[in-house]
Amino acid sequence: MVLTRIQSVTRASMAASSSAGADEPLREAGRFKLGPPRPRRGKAAFATGLALGADRLSPIHPFADEGTSPMTERRGIYFNLPEDEYHDDPALGSTDVKRLLASGADYWWLSSLNPNQPEHRSSPALEFGRALHKHVLEGRQAFTSRYVRRPDDLVRLDAKAKAMLCPNGETVLDGDDYDRIVVSAALIAQNPDLAAAFEGGMPEVSMFWDHDGIPCKLRFDYLKVRGIGDLKSIRNYMGRPFREACMRAIVDYRYDVQAAHYLEGRGHLAGFVADGLVFGDHDPNWLKRVASAEAFAFQWVFFQAENAPITWSCSLSPGNPVLDIAERDRTKAFETYREFRDAFPAGDMWLLKEPVAELDINDMPRWFS
């Protein structure tokens, strides 16, 4: 693997390049001409353009003048931290770790290191997951204060209809989705083995810690004295037995990496409590009980988002060989992060450049032949 450095260019050099003529090659390897800046979502960002040339890519993503890498200032346990603030923090979450397993370039492009970071757009599936979390983790009242059911006879959800349905800015859910969430939450609450995962604790607790010089973060769905409850809604497109569909989801989406990441963060909790690094409203006595628990595990509760509202659950405890595999891959992800971070100065784009090689039939998928 060869890392290709894309150096930041000042406005002055940009102007000089422009005056030299649009077709004149840039003499210094790795430098690219940049387009004019444009504002985006209140932070410094610049125009993006790609054009393939015979021997170079020009122009390419430009960078902020500051040229500084955003660093997290948070460390400790945070209760009631707004979701947007958590996601905006540049520390590595489990999703970032999984992206780093694919490539450093993929991670950088979607991270806050990219001054032209793509917007995080919602979708019906994501909104369904958020709504289900709200009901199961925080209760019916919290759910109904944020979501309303779309009437079955409403033909068009225009601005006037939405204003009537959502006087306090609620989100409208399709009737089928709304009803499924209500039924599913009731099913989970009535199953003692599943309901226990979301009782006696606190929802949406965030933590920030340092992993050998790399800032990390997590956001527990539900933190308990001796456990971590995590709710997953999956769509069983292939119609497999639900347990098998859940196992495949763990592998396909690397939920094991998430569990390992969260268990490492959970291991820092007692130290943060001892150091007073606890922020937000909470019950100090309950938190002391959490900090004193020497044994704890991670529990998934899976819910089928289509067809019958089936549920299935399993746990991961320290010492499980599944976590050994996940930890091995987390180590690879952190190595990739360090490799790219050290190769590219702050403000530079992280890129991969693979040498051209003859296609080897042995590298093709097994089904190809």
To the nearest 5 percent, what fractions of the chain are helix, strand and coil?
40, 20, 40
Collapsed DSSP state (helix, strand, coil) of residue 87: helix
Q: What CATH class has 124-330?
A: alpha beta
- Residue 278 reports pLDDT greater than 80: yes
**What phi and psi, each to the nearest 5 degrees, are found at residue 297?**
-140, 170
- The tens digit of pLDDT for each residue in 102-146 reads 999 999 999 989 988 888 777 888 888 889 899 999 999 999 999
pLDDT band at 31 (very low <50, low <70, confident <90, very high): very low
Residue 243 host element (H or E): helix 242-252
Strand order in 311-316's β-sheet?
Answer: 278-279, 76-78, 202-211, 214-223, 227-234, 297-304, 311-316
Picking from 108, 91, 125, the residue whose alpha carbon sits closest to that of residue 348 is 108
Q: Residue 207 forms beta bridges with which residues?
A: 77, 218
- The tens digit of pLDDT for each residue in 156-189 reads 888 889 999 999 999 999 999 999 899 989 988 8
* C-alpha torsion 14→15→20→23, nearest 10: 50
Mean pLDDT of the chain: 82
Per-residue model confidence (pLDDT) at position 3: 52
Per-residue model confidence (pLDDT) at position 50: 33
CB contact at 8 A, 58 and 51:
yes
Instruction: Give the per-residue SS3 of 38-51.
Output: CCECCECCECCCCC
Picking from 70, 71, 74, the residue whose alpha carbon sits closest to that of residue 86 is 74
Beta strands at 311-316 and 214-223: parallel, antiparallel or unpaired = unpaired
- The tens digit of pLDDT for each residue in 290-332 reads 999 989 999 999 999 888 888 999 999 999 999 999 999 999 9
Residue 148 host element (H or E): strand 147-149
Cα end-to-end distance, the chain, whole Å: 28
CB contact at 8 A, 353 and 3:
yes
Residue 3 host element (H or E): strand 2-6
Residue 221 host element (H or E): strand 214-223
Collapsed DSSP state (helix, strand, coil) of residue 156: coil
CB contact at 8 A, 80 and 281:
yes
Q: Which amino acid would we find at residue 73?
A: E
- Give the start-to-end residue ranges of the domains of the chain: 124-330
Collapsed DSSP state (helix, strand, coil) of residue 278: strand
> 46-54 long-range contacts, Cβ below 8 Å, gap at least 24?
46/115, 46/116, 48/116
pLDDT band at 205 (very low <50, low <70, confident <90, very high): very high
Residue 157, judged by CB atoms within 10 A of its CB (0-12, 13-18, 19+), counts as: middle
